[in-house]
Structure 1
Amino acid sequence: MKRSQLIVVVIGVVAIVGLYSLPKMVVDNEEEISGLTDETTPTSADGMVEMHEAELTPEQAASRAQNQQKLNESTSSEEKVASARDLALMYKELGKFDSAAYYYGFIAKETENLSDVEQAGESYYEAFTFALDPEKVSSTAEQARDYLNQVLDNDPARLDLKTKVAMTYVSSSNPMQGITMLREILEEDPQNEDGLFNMGILSMQSGQYKRASERFEELVKYHPNNLQGQFYLGVSYFEAGQKNKAKAQFEEVKKMTQDEMILGSIQGYLDQL
């Protein structure tokens, strides 16, 4: 489905699940979700890799061609995996997360090793969090769910992976499935860092800033070093009109970081208080 951008406030803080990809919905007070559209046809994995070829330097292109040739021509599974891993690492270092995930997925299918399956799932999830194109969002989310659910089938206690699966559903045609999963995680572990954070973000997305502040208050109570949570607690206070709390919170966050982008965003809020 098409995804709406939420808060372009500070790039240094936005390495978070689905911040730019959340559909507008009410998280805690209503069950009905509106404004959903049909899923688009997923972009092919091969297309992802081909799309990035033109962005490589001559040296990177040569290395890619050599490894791809080994991958295509080798009869040894070990050699295929080694070449695929080199390609995955190259694309990951370049920030081409969808292409990196493609090769990690190849490795997982080749080895059938659970750790490789998890790496593939994590890689597709990373690609999902950075994707903006609706087709790529859909395809990477589906792949992430597939691989991560394989790990969860063997280890249902992995709430960290369950949280990620939940967030892929939030931006799908069945977002309430993701919300339900997050609620189940918090019922099992009320102090779960990822669960509290993501529910706070979802409350912000739906405009429930008071509810968001409550989620973030719980988060920083149990995880005071969560910089993202501390920052968005200040944003939630600000948007809820709690100016004194917002000012005090932003001043606290300023003590936690030296990142100029974050500090600049904080100052922007303080200037409005």
Structure 2
Amino acid sequence: MKKTQLILIVVGVLAIAGLYALPSVVVDNEGQADGVSQDNAAASSESTEAIAMHEPELTPDQQLQLNTLKLQVKEDSSSEDIVSSSEELAGIYQEIGKYDSAGYYLGLAYENRPETELAEKAGNAYYEAFSFALDQEKVNYTAEQTRKYLNLVLDNDPTRLDLKTKIAMTYVSSSNPMQGITMLREILEEDPQNEDGLFNMGILSMQSGQYKRATERFEELVKYHPDNLQGQFYLGVSYFESDQKNKAKAQFEKVKELTDDPTIIGTVDTYLDQL
């Protein structure tokens, strides 16, 4: 799934814990749409206050650079100058991981030069912020902004299944999660080998406790996309949770052969110790 981190997945214990923060929804049983809805708070105002959702910790030099660029954005009368300064601001915020702030300035750039490329950049930045968001207000706001900008891209190119997948995942955390599940199913009907679609449906099947179905999704994923390390890892977890111990052991050993990342190996060893 993650060419640019379509949904933030941290492989390991924290990833498994984060998985259960999603609403519980039956995602892969034909004809079923049972789940737990979440009430959405009102979206934040689309103003400069949006960038204050978290204040970045900056060095004095970085703060001076940001303040100078913000002043240029505020005072420039030329749309092209505003676009240039806004993109530079967004780049700085992306470097320090403040994706909602990056999204705000890329959105401002789009307003001054409404091009599809800028809309996609803004939508992707907001999706990154959505992936990291913890409190519900921020989840709601960044999801809404993701859909706003990525739908502008889809209006021009409806074939962008990668963007449809991101939009689908924002709905999963909304008051209507089945809208996102339906979108993911439609993506897989159109492209049964779609990497993002298979990964996300596997994750959501795990989250709703459908581990047998999750194994099927991840088996398909690694069949078509064997280099997807997250898929390989979660296939092992799905085997483990569905009490397929021999398969789980073999899969976890395979994951250890695919990476030398000590965090992943340590997490895998934790599972192996329980088999």
Taking structure 1 as the reference length, what is the TM-score of the superposition? 0.91
- 3-state SS in 2 of match to 1:112: coil
Following TM superposition, by how much is the alpha carbon of 1:51 offset from its aligned partner in structure 2, in angstroms? 4.7
Counting only pairs closer than 5 Å after superposition, residues 65-214 of structure 1 correspond to structure 2 as: 65-214=67-216
Contact 2:23/2:35 (CA < 8 Å) preserved in 1?
no
What's the CA shift for 1:34? 3.6
Matched, 1:26 2:26: yes
Supply the RMSD in Å over aligned alpha carbons: 2.0
How many Å separate the matches in 2 of 1:50 and 1:162? 28
The answer on whether the counterparts of 1:237 and 1:243 sit within 8 Å (CA) in structure 2 is yes
Q: Deviations over 1:209-237 (max 9, x none)?
A: 11000000000000000000000000000
Deviations 1:132-151 (A, max 9, x none): 11000001001101111111
After the TM superposition, which of the residue ranges 234-243 and 33-42 deviates more from structure 2?
33-42
Question: What is the Cα deviation at residue 13 of structure 1?
Answer: 7.0
Shift of 1:205: 0.4
Q: Secondary structure at the match of 1:161?
A: helix
1:36 paired to 2:37? yes
Q: Output the TM-score relative to the length of structure 2.
A: 0.91
**C-alpha distance in structure 1 between counterparts of 2:164 and 2:274, whole Å:** 38
Q: Which moved more, 1:112-121 or 1:21-30?
A: 21-30
After TM superposition, give the deviation of residue 47 of structure 1 in Å. Answer: 3.1
Q: Which amino acid aligns with 1:158?
A: R
1:144-200 deviation digits (Å, cap 9, x = unpaired): 011111111111111111111111111111111111111111111100000000000
Q: Distance in 1 between matches of 2:43 and 2:132?
A: 16
For 1:12 and 1:103, the matched residues in 2 are separated by 31
Q: Distance in 1 between matches of 2:61 and 2:13?
A: 30
Q: Where does residue 222 of structure 1 map in the other structure?
A: 224
For 1:31 and 1:52, locate their aligned partners in 2 and report how far apart those are by CA, in whole Å. 39
Q: Distance in 1 between matches of 2:84 and 2:15?
A: 34
Structure 1 gap segments, 5+ residues each: 1-6
Q: Which of 44, 60, 63 matches 2:62?
A: 60
Q: 5+ residue gaps in structure 2?
A: 1-8
Shift of 1:49: 2.3
Deviation at 1:60, TM superposition (A): 1.3
Structure 2 residue identity aligned to 1:74: D
Cα offset, 1:35, TM superposition: 2.8
Distance in 1 separating the partners of 2:237 and 2:13: 15
Residue type of the alignment partner of 2:26:
V
